[in-house]
Structure 1
Amino acid sequence: MPSDLNYGLSLFGGRALQWIDEEAAIYAICQLETNYLVTKHIGEISFEAPAMQGDVVEFGLETTKVGRTSITVSCLVRNKITKKTICQADDIVFVQIDPETGQPAPHGKTLEELEQQTKNEIKTLNL
Protein backbone atom coordinates (compact mmCIF):
# COMPACT_ATOMS: atom_id res chain seq x y z
CA MET A 1 0.00 0.00 0.00
CA PRO A 2 1.24 3.55 -0.59
CA SER A 3 1.36 4.21 3.17
CA ASP A 4 3.88 1.34 3.53
CA LEU A 5 6.38 2.77 1.02
CA ASN A 6 9.50 4.86 1.42
CA TYR A 7 10.62 7.70 -0.86
CA GLY A 8 12.10 5.14 -3.26
CA LEU A 9 8.61 3.64 -3.65
CA SER A 10 9.65 0.35 -2.09
CA LEU A 11 8.62 -1.14 1.27
CA PHE A 12 9.79 1.05 4.17
CA GLY A 13 12.17 -0.92 6.39
CA GLY A 14 10.43 0.23 9.55
CA ARG A 15 7.11 -1.11 8.29
CA ALA A 16 8.77 -4.45 7.46
CA LEU A 17 10.16 -4.58 11.02
CA GLN A 18 6.71 -3.84 12.45
CA TRP A 19 5.19 -6.68 10.43
CA ILE A 20 8.00 -9.05 11.41
CA ASP A 21 7.48 -8.29 15.12
CA GLU A 22 3.71 -8.78 14.78
CA GLU A 23 3.93 -12.01 12.77
CA ALA A 24 6.66 -13.45 15.00
CA ALA A 25 4.62 -12.59 18.10
CA ILE A 26 1.52 -14.32 16.71
CA TYR A 27 3.63 -17.36 15.85
CA ALA A 28 5.23 -17.44 19.34
CA ILE A 29 1.84 -16.99 21.03
CA CYS A 30 0.50 -19.98 19.10
CA GLN A 31 3.58 -22.08 19.86
CA LEU A 32 3.53 -21.40 23.61
CA GLU A 33 -0.26 -21.13 23.89
CA THR A 34 -0.11 -17.91 25.88
CA ASN A 35 -0.94 -14.26 25.23
CA TYR A 36 1.54 -13.01 27.81
CA LEU A 37 4.62 -12.55 25.65
CA VAL A 38 6.78 -9.49 25.16
CA THR A 39 9.50 -8.86 22.59
CA LYS A 40 12.87 -8.89 24.31
CA HIS A 41 15.28 -8.81 21.39
CA ILE A 42 15.44 -8.73 17.62
CA GLY A 43 18.85 -9.65 16.28
CA GLU A 44 20.35 -9.10 12.87
CA ILE A 45 18.03 -8.13 10.03
CA SER A 46 19.27 -8.44 6.50
CA PHE A 47 17.42 -6.69 3.67
CA GLU A 48 18.11 -8.46 0.38
CA ALA A 49 15.58 -7.23 -2.22
CA PRO A 50 12.94 -4.51 -2.34
CA ALA A 51 9.22 -5.09 -2.15
CA MET A 52 7.35 -2.75 -4.45
CA GLN A 53 3.81 -1.38 -4.33
CA GLY A 54 1.39 -4.16 -5.21
CA ASP A 55 3.73 -7.00 -4.23
CA VAL A 56 2.32 -9.66 -1.96
CA VAL A 57 4.71 -10.72 0.79
CA GLU A 58 4.70 -13.91 2.83
CA PHE A 59 6.30 -14.73 6.16
CA GLY A 60 8.00 -17.97 7.09
CA LEU A 61 8.69 -18.49 10.77
CA GLU A 62 10.66 -21.13 12.62
CA THR A 63 11.41 -21.82 16.27
CA THR A 64 15.16 -21.95 16.77
CA LYS A 65 15.47 -22.13 20.56
CA VAL A 66 13.28 -22.54 23.63
CA GLY A 67 14.35 -21.38 27.07
CA ARG A 68 12.66 -21.64 30.44
CA THR A 69 10.76 -18.35 29.97
CA SER A 70 11.63 -17.55 26.34
CA ILE A 71 11.21 -18.62 22.75
CA THR A 72 13.51 -17.60 19.91
CA VAL A 73 12.30 -17.54 16.31
CA SER A 74 13.61 -16.57 12.91
CA CYS A 75 11.55 -14.93 10.17
CA LEU A 76 11.99 -14.98 6.41
CA VAL A 77 10.01 -12.43 4.40
CA ARG A 78 9.71 -13.09 0.69
CA ASN A 79 7.78 -12.10 -2.40
CA LYS A 80 4.84 -14.49 -2.74
CA ILE A 81 5.03 -14.62 -6.55
CA THR A 82 8.77 -14.51 -7.32
CA LYS A 83 9.89 -16.23 -4.06
CA LYS A 84 12.75 -13.69 -3.82
CA THR A 85 13.85 -13.04 -0.26
CA ILE A 86 12.99 -9.51 0.84
CA CYS A 87 14.55 -9.77 4.29
CA GLN A 88 15.58 -12.21 6.98
CA ALA A 89 15.35 -11.55 10.71
CA ASP A 90 17.16 -13.91 13.03
CA ASP A 91 17.22 -14.21 16.79
CA ILE A 92 13.79 -12.76 17.64
CA VAL A 93 13.32 -13.44 21.35
CA PHE A 94 10.01 -13.32 23.20
CA VAL A 95 9.66 -13.77 26.95
CA GLN A 96 6.57 -14.96 28.77
CA ILE A 97 5.63 -12.66 31.62
CA ASP A 98 3.41 -13.00 34.63
CA PRO A 99 0.51 -10.60 33.90
CA GLU A 100 0.29 -9.52 37.52
CA THR A 101 3.96 -8.79 38.18
CA GLY A 102 5.30 -8.17 34.68
CA GLN A 103 8.23 -10.46 35.51
CA PRO A 104 9.45 -13.40 33.39
CA ALA A 105 7.47 -16.58 34.00
CA PRO A 106 8.17 -20.19 32.97
CA HIS A 107 6.06 -21.41 30.04
CA GLY A 108 6.69 -25.14 30.52
CA LYS A 109 7.44 -25.98 26.87
CA THR A 110 10.50 -27.57 25.26
CA LEU A 111 11.81 -27.33 21.70
CA GLU A 112 11.21 -31.07 21.24
CA GLU A 113 7.59 -30.73 22.36
CA LEU A 114 6.99 -27.83 19.96
CA GLU A 115 8.60 -29.73 17.07
CA GLN A 116 6.36 -32.74 17.76
CA GLN A 117 3.31 -30.46 17.98
CA THR A 118 4.20 -29.01 14.55
CA LYS A 119 4.61 -32.50 13.04
CA ASN A 120 1.19 -33.50 14.41
CA GLU A 121 -0.38 -30.34 12.97
CA ILE A 122 1.15 -31.05 9.56
CA LYS A 123 -0.18 -34.63 9.65
CA THR A 124 -3.64 -33.31 10.47
CA LEU A 125 -3.51 -30.90 7.52
CA ASN A 126 -2.47 -33.68 5.12
CA LEU A 127 -5.53 -35.87 5.84
Structure 2
Amino acid sequence: MLSRYFGEEVCGVVAYSLGRGLGECFYKLAVKQGVKDLKAANAFLAWAMKRLRLAKDAAIFVMKSRDDLSFEVLVRIASSGRSERSDIFFYILRGIIFQFYSLFTLGAIRISSLNRSNSLKSCYEYIVKISKDREVMPLDE
Protein backbone atom coordinates (compact mmCIF):
# COMPACT_ATOMS: atom_id res chain seq x y z
CA MET A 1 0.00 0.00 0.00
CA LEU A 2 2.65 2.56 0.99
CA SER A 3 4.97 1.29 -1.72
CA ARG A 4 2.62 2.80 -4.30
CA TYR A 5 3.38 6.26 -2.94
CA PHE A 6 6.95 5.98 -1.72
CA GLY A 7 8.37 3.13 -3.77
CA GLU A 8 9.58 -0.31 -2.81
CA GLU A 9 13.07 0.85 -1.80
CA VAL A 10 11.89 3.48 0.68
CA CYS A 11 9.41 1.09 2.28
CA GLY A 12 12.14 -1.55 2.58
CA VAL A 13 14.46 0.90 4.37
CA VAL A 14 11.69 1.98 6.77
CA ALA A 15 10.76 -1.66 7.49
CA TYR A 16 14.42 -2.57 8.08
CA SER A 17 14.80 0.36 10.50
CA LEU A 18 11.68 -0.71 12.36
CA GLY A 19 13.09 -4.23 12.58
CA ARG A 20 16.38 -2.94 14.02
CA GLY A 21 14.44 -1.14 16.74
CA LEU A 22 12.56 -4.34 17.56
CA GLY A 23 15.83 -6.29 17.52
CA GLU A 24 17.27 -3.95 20.13
CA CYS A 25 14.17 -4.41 22.30
CA PHE A 26 14.48 -8.20 21.94
CA TYR A 27 18.14 -8.00 22.98
CA LYS A 28 17.36 -5.93 26.09
CA LEU A 29 14.60 -8.35 27.04
CA ALA A 30 16.96 -11.30 26.51
CA VAL A 31 19.51 -9.71 28.85
CA LYS A 32 16.79 -9.21 31.48
CA GLN A 33 15.78 -12.87 31.07
CA GLY A 34 19.37 -13.92 31.78
CA VAL A 35 20.30 -15.25 28.34
CA LYS A 36 24.03 -16.01 28.48
CA ASP A 37 24.95 -18.16 25.48
CA LEU A 38 24.19 -18.46 21.79
CA LYS A 39 21.93 -21.50 22.16
CA ALA A 40 19.71 -19.69 24.67
CA ALA A 41 19.75 -16.54 22.52
CA ASN A 42 18.59 -18.50 19.48
CA ALA A 43 15.76 -20.10 21.43
CA PHE A 44 14.74 -16.73 22.88
CA LEU A 45 14.71 -15.02 19.47
CA ALA A 46 12.57 -17.77 17.91
CA TRP A 47 10.16 -17.61 20.88
CA ALA A 48 9.92 -13.79 20.72
CA MET A 49 9.17 -13.73 16.98
CA LYS A 50 6.46 -16.38 17.38
CA ARG A 51 5.02 -14.65 20.45
CA LEU A 52 4.66 -11.34 18.59
CA ARG A 53 3.20 -13.22 15.61
CA LEU A 54 5.95 -12.03 13.30
CA ALA A 55 6.46 -15.67 12.40
CA LYS A 56 4.19 -18.68 12.28
CA ASP A 57 7.21 -20.90 12.83
CA ALA A 58 10.91 -20.20 13.31
CA ALA A 59 13.92 -22.49 13.50
CA ILE A 60 17.46 -21.37 14.29
CA PHE A 61 20.55 -23.54 13.83
CA VAL A 62 24.26 -22.94 14.37
CA MET A 63 26.47 -24.24 11.56
CA LYS A 64 30.20 -24.44 10.95
CA SER A 65 31.39 -22.05 8.30
CA ARG A 66 33.45 -23.12 5.31
CA ASP A 67 36.38 -21.19 6.76
CA ASP A 68 37.61 -21.68 10.31
CA LEU A 69 37.42 -17.96 11.09
CA SER A 70 33.68 -17.79 11.67
CA PHE A 71 30.50 -19.72 12.27
CA GLU A 72 27.04 -19.22 10.85
CA VAL A 73 23.57 -19.06 12.32
CA LEU A 74 20.80 -20.19 9.95
CA VAL A 75 17.40 -18.66 10.68
CA ARG A 76 14.37 -20.11 8.81
CA ILE A 77 11.08 -18.33 9.27
CA ALA A 78 7.65 -19.26 7.99
CA SER A 79 5.43 -16.20 7.98
CA SER A 80 1.76 -16.23 8.85
CA GLY A 81 0.49 -15.87 5.32
CA ARG A 82 1.16 -14.77 1.80
CA SER A 83 -0.03 -11.33 0.84
CA GLU A 84 1.18 -8.11 -0.76
CA ARG A 85 2.66 -6.89 2.52
CA SER A 86 4.68 -10.04 3.18
CA ASP A 87 7.72 -8.47 1.49
CA ILE A 88 7.71 -5.86 4.26
CA PHE A 89 8.04 -8.70 6.80
CA PHE A 90 11.15 -9.85 4.94
CA TYR A 91 12.85 -6.52 5.73
CA ILE A 92 11.46 -6.24 9.27
CA LEU A 93 12.73 -9.72 10.14
CA ARG A 94 16.13 -9.01 8.58
CA GLY A 95 16.42 -5.87 10.73
CA ILE A 96 15.45 -7.77 13.89
CA ILE A 97 17.97 -10.53 13.24
CA PHE A 98 20.77 -8.13 12.31
CA GLN A 99 20.38 -5.91 15.37
CA PHE A 100 19.84 -8.77 17.82
CA TYR A 101 22.99 -10.65 16.80
CA SER A 102 25.05 -7.45 16.43
CA LEU A 103 24.33 -6.54 20.03
CA PHE A 104 24.62 -10.10 21.31
CA THR A 105 28.02 -10.74 19.72
CA LEU A 106 29.32 -7.25 20.53
CA GLY A 107 30.62 -6.75 17.01
CA ALA A 108 30.03 -6.57 13.32
CA ILE A 109 28.25 -9.41 11.60
CA ARG A 110 27.35 -10.20 8.02
CA ILE A 111 23.87 -11.28 7.10
CA SER A 112 22.58 -12.70 3.84
CA SER A 113 18.99 -13.52 3.12
CA LEU A 114 16.77 -15.41 0.72
CA ASN A 115 13.09 -14.93 0.13
CA ARG A 116 11.82 -18.47 -0.51
CA SER A 117 8.18 -17.43 -0.74
CA ASN A 118 5.76 -18.59 -3.38
CA SER A 119 2.09 -17.94 -4.08
CA LEU A 120 0.98 -20.21 -1.21
CA LYS A 121 3.35 -19.43 1.64
CA SER A 122 5.95 -16.99 2.90
CA CYS A 123 9.27 -18.48 3.91
CA TYR A 124 12.50 -16.61 4.56
CA GLU A 125 16.06 -17.75 5.24
CA TYR A 126 18.73 -15.62 6.84
CA ILE A 127 22.37 -16.61 7.34
CA VAL A 128 24.22 -14.66 10.02
CA LYS A 129 28.01 -14.94 9.77
CA ILE A 130 29.73 -14.32 13.12
CA SER A 131 33.49 -14.08 13.50
CA LYS A 132 34.97 -16.64 15.95
CA ASP A 133 37.20 -14.02 17.59
CA ARG A 134 34.10 -12.24 18.92
CA GLU A 135 32.89 -12.92 22.42
CA VAL A 136 29.33 -14.24 22.24
CA MET A 137 27.99 -12.90 25.52
CA PRO A 138 25.42 -10.20 26.23
CA LEU A 139 26.46 -6.86 27.69
CA ASP A 140 26.03 -6.35 31.40
CA GLU A 141 23.68 -3.41 31.75
Instruction: Tell me whether the two structures share a fold, i.e. TM-score over 0.5.
Output: no
The structure, 1 or 2, with the larger RCO (C-alpha pairs under 8 Å, 6+ apart) is 2
Normalized against structure 1, the TM-score is what?
Answer: 0.32
Counting helix residues as a fraction of each chain, which structure ranks higher? 2
Counting strand residues as a fraction of each chain, which structure ranks higher? 1
